[in-house]
Structure 1
Amino acid sequence: MESLENALVAFAGFVWGMPLVILLVGGGVFFLLYSRLLPYRHFRHAIAILRGRYDDPGDPGHIVHFQALTTALSGTLGMGNIAGVAVAITMGGPGAIFWMWITAVVGIATKFFTASLAIMYRGRDSLGHLQGGPMYVVREGLGRRWLPLAGLFALAGLFGTLPVFQVNQLVQIVREVVAIPNGWTSEADHFGFDLTLGVLIAAVVLAVILGNIQRVGRVTSRLVPAMVLFYMALTVWVLFDNAGAIPGAFALILEDAFSGQSVAGGAVGTVILMGVRRGAFSNEAGIGTESMAHGAAKTNEPIREGLVAMLGPVIDTLIVCTCTALAILTTGVWQGSEADGVSLTASAFEHALPGTGAYLLTIMVLFLSLSTIFSFWYYGSKCLGFLAGAERQHHYVWIYTGLVLLGAVGSLELVISLIDGMYGLMAIPTMTSALLLAPRVRAATADYFARHPRERRALD
């Protein structure tokens, strides 16, 4: 197991080199400038679309705009915001948060382009059903000679959307906050408890995902908004309790972003790489997984779904991740602590709310991690359907449920290295196809706003 862990760590480090950072961040900057900042100027219109003003039950697709966004957010809001931020601070220092913000700012434009393409180039699977996602964008938009690139995304997506990280961190927080203090298990020997909890989680996941994307959409459309509001209320309480330390936390983030003083050797490159890696894991801009959810939206207007999708990085990274980072930094638990991942975040909440903070966060983690697991099943099944045929993708339900058990008993470093490496591979076909097809998105954007006079003025 140790050799496998070392191999996966090396693999993730190789994939997440500077070329991938340039592709994600540089590509996002290109989209930002190429669009003339258009996505950033149409948040009001995006909200109107999200509220159902333009919904048409007769349009092709499976779920309405709001459900598409909440399904996509359920895949991003969760461990990336709670445990991922803690990992970023532990491994890259406070400055990594600044580079997470950068991925979100440019990620707004990236998601506008990738989600628009997910609708523009939907394709039929082997059963004739309409599907969206980067693999179909490559096949339908770039042509058959680019199929190896589509296959790369589907293969990497099959592994990158495994539930192992979410389950691992959910089991960890339940074990450390609830089970060990109550004597249900011990720090030295907790395999039996982890496996038992993994079986229970697998049963819940199976009950939901057997209902397909429509059920996932209904569950996430209720679960995600409620949990975001709950988490925001919880973090506001923590920050109110440590209000005097907030300016210093922001100053520390900005200073460390360009000095790397919190990383061994003062390596600024490590800070940037860790911030971009965790930012990509959090908001998935340029990775492509969320495009599969947005590609299922009921619409004939690609630009509408692009505008809806751009809200994701704002909610996910600029708001929720920032709150988590400030909670960890203002309480000071990140200094001299051996806790990692979700345990570090739990320490911050327990510090501010003794006796209840860790329990409240555990409830939050339970629901957010489950919503992510629901969405990741959908992504993985679509990748398998693309590779092996849609008539076989239903078998993924049982494979996926079994992998929940693997996540429950595996180590944090093993599972996060596996997911990181595959996320990096997924970004290559997603960003490459989006960059090549960007002119078609800009042409479709001009056409869309020409047909909506009220919005045309913002283009001038």
Structure 2
Amino acid sequence: MTILDRGIDALSAFVFMSVPVGGVEVQLIVLWLALAMVFTTVWLGFPQFRGFREAWNVVRGRYHDPSAPGQVSQFAALATALSGTVGLGNIAGVAVALSMGGPGAIFWMLVIGIFAMSLKASEVTLGLMYREVLPDGRVRGGPFLTLSKGLAQAGFPRLGRFLGLFYAIFLLGGSLALFQVNQSHAQVASVIGLENPLVYGILFGLAVALILLGSIRWIARATSILVPAMAFIYISGCLVILGTNAGAIPGAVMLIVTEAFNMESAFGGILGSFVAGMRRAVYSSEAGVGTAVIAHAQARTREPASEGLVALLEPFIDTVIVCTLTGVTLVVAGTWDPATNGGLEGIAITSAAFAAVAPWFPVVLAIAVFLFAYSTVVANGFYGAEGFQFIFGHGRVQELVWKIGFCFLLPLGAIIDMGRIVDFIDSVFFLMAIPNVLAIYLLARPLRAEMKGYLSRKGKG
């Protein structure tokens, strides 16, 4: 075992400390996020339902104010954030959840996605409340600023600065997006025969640099095109699979629901599928992790809560719609079962489902996978650049140092074993969630006042 393997194992063991419940080891960090989702849902008065229609009105530009602070439209901010969340977590991640927790994990991913909407709205609203607008019009924002500025205003300046640095440091690791490079190579290699992972990684890094080295306006413009395109291609592919196996859909849905409440070993079946669903749902939607706050902070608006409502659409699109569609597709195709799929894992499970339609159909998946991975990596590169500048100071030099180094490291994703990458990324993501969720608890009163005030004003017209 190498030093890298030992380091990842130690990090994973620390982050995923667990307690036995009903014969299943439930990680404390999973409970941390689950409680935060329930708390924000109740504390804000179920914003995922009360504010859902308003969210669509905002993102459609109904209240657009061109003179408001910010660098991109609220739709463009959502597209950039979605490019970071709608990714291979929706394709390979769902396959991993099925392998870990069975079909019942899909049901719990959907439930968690609904509750995650309020958590996402909370962190983004706070991000807009404590963002900084520079004299030249540029905007800085993210959980690191929420922690440092918000907690300073609450009377905890040292704690805020410490937690802000803690978050920014682990953001650098979490933004590397090695999983996307790894799984996109696996699919592209199987379709076009590009077997050399290092060559693929280098080409991928160069392609990312073409967009990432530009400004946030250029990134937002690119993702506004990529996100609808990749979603259309992938969803169309899933619908073709479901259409050719329409008779199996009712049975697949029934299996997902019944397995979600499997009472085997006391509550072991339920908890096992819930834990698997939670880990993959968090990685997919990033609710509670706070990364999307960095993109939403760029939105042109004077109302923090309005962007918070826009942000709740992320888990809805990402987890409730796309992940559920993927899960049903894989169960219908039957390629998820480790007992019958010949040891397939990750993206290979989804590729086998596409191949069941026609031998050439995995090409469609390869195109979607590349677009998913590419857009996610671009967004993550921007997130990492903001965290890097929070630590080392803001400036064009610091920004370029991070972005060039980021692109240089991407080829590692095609070389390192997928299991190692999943363990590392899960660990870093959940470490980021600790200070981010803590900020929501400590700033809960101003958060509720902001959301309640906005919805009240909109309710009065």
TM-score when normalising by structure 1? 0.91
> 2: CA distance between counterparts of 1:64 and 1:252?
42
Q: SS where residue 390 of structure 1 aligns? A: coil
Partners of 1:125 and 1:390 within 8 A in 2: no
More divergent stretch after superposition (423-432 vs 13-22): 13-22
Aligned residue pair count: 441
Mind listing any 5+ residue stretches in structure 1 that lack a counterpart? 186-192, 456-460
Q: SS where residue 411 of structure 2 aligns? A: helix
Written as runs of structure 1 = structure 2, the 5 A alignment for 1:23-422 is: 23-123=32-132, 130-143=139-152, 144-146=157-159, 147-179=161-193, 185=195, 193-259=196-262, 268-335=270-337, 336-337=340-341, 338-351=343-356, 353-391=357-395, 392-422=398-428
> 1: CA distance between counterparts of 2:53 and 2:61?
13
Q: 1:321 to 1:349 in 2, by over 3 A?
A: same
Partners of 2:70 and 2:133 within 8 A in 1: no
Matched-pair identity in %: 38
Q: SS where residue 80 of structure 1 aligns? A: coil
> 2: CA distance between counterparts of 1:111 and 1:150?
18
> 1: CA distance between counterparts of 2:87 and 2:36?
26
| Per-residue deviation, 1:198 | 1.3
> 1: CA distance between counterparts of 2:268 and 2:6?
24
> 2: CA distance between counterparts of 1:333 and 1:39?
33
More divergent stretch after superposition (247-256 vs 139-148): 247-256
Q: Is the helix fraction higher in 1 or 2? A: 1
| Per-residue deviation, 1:395 | 0.3
Counterpart residue type for residue 222 of structure 2? V
> 2: CA distance between counterparts of 1:290 and 1:38?
18
| Per-residue deviation, 1:9 | 4.1
Mind listing any 5+ residue stretches in structure 2 that lack a counterpart? 19-26
Q: Which residue of 1 aligns with 2:22?
A: none
TM-score when normalising by structure 2? 0.91
Partners of 1:86 and 1:344 within 8 A in 2: yes
More divergent stretch after superposition (267-276 vs 105-114): 267-276
Q: 1:299 to 1:256 in 2, by over 3 A?
A: same
Partners of 2:71 and 2:137 within 8 A in 1: no
> 1: CA distance between counterparts of 2:413 and 2:399?
21
Partners of 1:136 and 1:150 within 8 A in 2: yes
> 1: CA distance between counterparts of 2:78 and 2:60?
11
| Per-residue deviation, 1:7 | 4.0
Q: SS where residue 144 of structure 2 aligns? A: helix
| Per-residue deviation, 1:148 | 1.3
> 2: CA distance between counterparts of 1:248 and 1:27?
34
More divergent stretch after superposition (166-175 vs 120-129): 120-129
Q: SS where residue 62 of structure 1 aligns? A: coil
> 2: CA distance between counterparts of 1:260 and 1:155?
41
